[in-house]
Amino acid sequence: MTIAAADVERIFRDAGALREGHFILASGRHSPLYLEKFQVLQHPAETERLCAAIAALAGSLEVETVAGPTTGGIILAHEVARQLGVRAVYAERREGAPGREFRRGFALTRGERVLVVDDIMTTGGSVQETIEAVRAAGGTVVGASVLVDRSGGSARLDVPLHALWGLDIPTYPVAECPLCAKGVPAMHPGTTPAPVSVSR
């Protein structure tokens, strides 16, 4: 099953997942817009539909396992794997070190063919860290898929990438953020406003 980018956008808009404000992203960059994927992922039928499109794209890749980064990637990896009839594994942040790793007894055989999936890609960091975790565990990454590439195409991975919906939402380093310059309070999505100190 395929899905048009316009339909993916409609799903996000109808779920109230596209938010305006002053947000501190997981990458540390700031943005006036935020996509709250859990407003979409709380609806199993829509999640199933989005994952069906990813599964259809992966049909020719001979995927043996689907891997996703915590946290939203867990839901997507599980559902895409279910539809492909394979297993799902999850890469978690390393404690006290950069990157991600597989825990909880997850193991890959050498050369095991893995599709990496995630929800929203801004810089590509979480996806690339998951790719590197797969390789460190001995697997072979056959591709990556995300629901939304919000980088405007600027994020780069070293494997083929497919996004169901691509858009260009501006992001800024803290020192260059126009909202910070105007004194607009910044917030970590899903939390109360967080004070931001800016060194210039």
pLDDT in tens, 53-81: 999 999 899 999 999 999 999 999 999 99
Q: Does 200 map to a domain?
A: no
User: DSSP readout, 8-64?
Assistant: HHHHHHHTT-EEEEEEE-TTS-EEEEEE-HHHHHT-HHHHHHHHHHHHHHTTTTT-S
Structural domain contains residue 195: no
Distance CA 174, CA 189 (A): 16
Residue 191's pLDDT band, with cuts at 50, 70 and 90, is low
CATH, residue 174: 3.40.50.2020
Q: Sheet containing 30-35: which strands, arranged edge to edge?
A: 30-35, 18-24, 186-187, 193-194
Mean residue pLDDT across the chain: 92
- 3-class state of residue 83 by DSSP: helix
Residue 154 lies in a domain: yes
**Would residue 87 count as lying in a domain?**
yes
Collapsed DSSP state (helix, strand, coil) of residue 45? helix
Domain assignment present for 79: yes
Domain count, the chain: 1
In a domain, 176, yes or no: yes
pLDDT band at 26 (very low <50, low <70, confident <90, very high): confident
Q: What is the pLDDT, as a whole number, of residue 151?
A: 87
Q: Is residue 147 part of a domain?
A: yes
Q: Find the mean pLDDT for residues 3-7.
A: 96
Residue with tokens 């799902």: 88
Instruction: Give domain status of residue 198, yes or no.
Output: no
Q: Which helix (H) or strand (E) holds 7?
A: helix 5-14
Handedness of CA 8, 10, 11, 15 (dihedral sign): positive
pTM assigned to the model: 0.87
At residue 34, does pLDDT exceed 80?
A: yes
Give residue 32's domain range.
Answer: 5-190
Contact 69, 127 (CB under 8 A): yes
Q: Does residue 5 carry a pLDDT above 70? A: yes
Band of pLDDT at residue 192, cut at 50, 70 and 90: very low
